[in-house]
C-alpha cells in the first residue's frame, strides 16, 4: 500500500485552524533539510540550533497571525527565512566576532588579565615607596618641579607660572632631578622594576 503523506499546505491549514500536531508533523518532515542547510553555512551545532529555533519562531508567529501567503510552498518559504537569519548572524558576527576554544586556538592567547597578582602588587607598592624616599632626598627646587610634572601632571608652562621661574629653568630643574635620581639608583643599586 502506498504511503500517503498529508500535503504541507493541508498541514499548514490545519495548524492555522488550531491543530498543534500539524506543526509537529511539519517540523519532523523538514527538520533535517532545514537544519542541514543552516549547518552547511554556519558549521556550529549550537548556533545552528539557535537559528533553527528562530526560524520556526518566525514561522509560528506568521502562521498564527494569519499573515502566511499560501501561494508559495512551505519548505522554500522556511528555507528563505533561515537564509535571512543566517545573513543576519554573519552581519552581527562581523561587528562582534565570536571566538570558540579549539585545539589549535585558545581564547587566552588573545585575552589576558592585566590586573597585578598579589606578589606583583606588593612589589609595585615597594617600588613606589622606595621611589618616594629617593625623591624626598632631592633638593627642594628639583623635587617641587618633579612632583608637579609627574604626580600632578602639570605642564612646564603651568609649573613655571606656579613656581615663578621661566620654563627653561623648570625644564633644567626637571633634568637635574632625573639625573640625580638615576645617580642615587645606580649608586645604591636599587631595583625599581616590577
Nearest approach, Cβ of residue 47 and another protein (Å): 12
Q: What are phi and psi for residue 100, nearest 5 degrees?
A: -120, 140
14 makes contact with another protein (CB under 8 A):
no
79 makes contact with another protein (CB under 8 A):
no
* Interacting residue with another protein among 11, 12, 23, 85 (CB under 8 A): 23
* Interacting residue with another protein among 57, 116, 122, 179 (CB under 8 A): 57
Q: State which residue, 56 or 77, has the beta carbon closest to another protein.
A: 56
109-127 b/e (C-beta count within 10 Å ≥ 16 → b): eeeeeeeeeeeeeeeeeee
* Interacting residue with another protein among 12, 42, 52, 82 (CB under 8 A): 52
36 makes contact with another protein (CB under 8 A):
yes
How many residues are present in the chain? 194
Q: What CA–CA distances, in Å, run from 100 to 91, 97, 107, 110, 180?
A: 18, 10, 7, 12, 52
Nearest approach, Cβ of residue 49 and another protein (Å): 5
* Interacting residue with another protein among 1, 3, 17, 65 (CB under 8 A): 65
Q: State which residue, 56 or 74, has the beta carbon closest to another protein.
A: 56
Region of 63-71, 99-107, 163-171, 173-181 interacting with another protein (CB under 8 A): 63-71
43 makes contact with another protein (CB under 8 A):
no
Q: How many residues interact with another protein (rule CB under 8 A)?
A: 20
DSSP label at residue 147: I
Nearest approach, Cβ of residue 99 and another protein (Å): 23
37, three cell numbers: 542547510
Residue reference for cell 613655571 = 160
Contacts 24+ apart (CB under 8 A), 118-121: 120/194
The whole-angstrom separation of Cα 137 and Cα 188 is 13
∠186-191-194 over CA atoms, to 5°?
A: 150
Residues at the interface with another protein (CB under 8 A): 20, 23-24, 27, 31-32, 35-36, 39, 48-49, 52-53, 56-57, 60-61, 64-66
Amino acid at each position: 500500500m502506498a504511503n500517503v503523506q498529508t500535503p504541507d499546505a493541508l498541514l499548514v491549514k490545519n495548524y492555522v485552524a488550531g491543530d498543534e500536531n500539524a506543526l509537529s508533523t511539519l517540523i519532523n518532515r523538514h527538520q533535517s533539510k532545514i537544519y542541514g542547510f543552516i549547518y552547511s553555512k554556519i558549521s556550529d551545532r549550537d548556533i545552528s540550533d539557535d537559528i533553527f529555533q528562530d526560524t520556526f519562531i518566525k514561522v509560528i508567529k506568521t502562521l498564527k497571525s494569519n499573515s502566511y501567503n499560501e501561494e508559495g510552498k512551505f519548505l522554500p518559504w522556511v528555507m528563505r527565512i533561515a537564509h535571512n537569519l543566517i545573513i543576519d548572524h554573519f552581519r552581527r558576527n562581523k561587528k562582534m566576532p565570536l571566538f570558540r576554544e579549539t585545539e589549535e586556538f585558545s581564547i587566552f592567547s588573545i585575552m589576558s588579565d592585566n590586573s597585578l597578582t598579589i606578589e606583583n602588587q606588593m612589589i609595585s607598592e615597594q617600588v613606589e615607596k622606595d621611589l618616594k624616599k629617593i625623591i624626598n632626598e632631592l633638593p627642594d627646587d628639583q623635587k617641587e618641579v618633579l612632583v608637579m610634572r609627574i604626580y600632578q601632571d602639570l605642564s612646564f608652562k603651568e609649573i613655571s607660572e606656579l613656581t615663578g621661574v621661566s620654563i627653561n629653568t623648570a625644564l633644567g630643574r626637571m633634568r637635574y632631578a632625573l639625573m640625580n635620581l638615576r645617580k642615587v639608583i645606580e649608586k645604591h643599586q636599587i631595583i625599581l622594576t616590577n
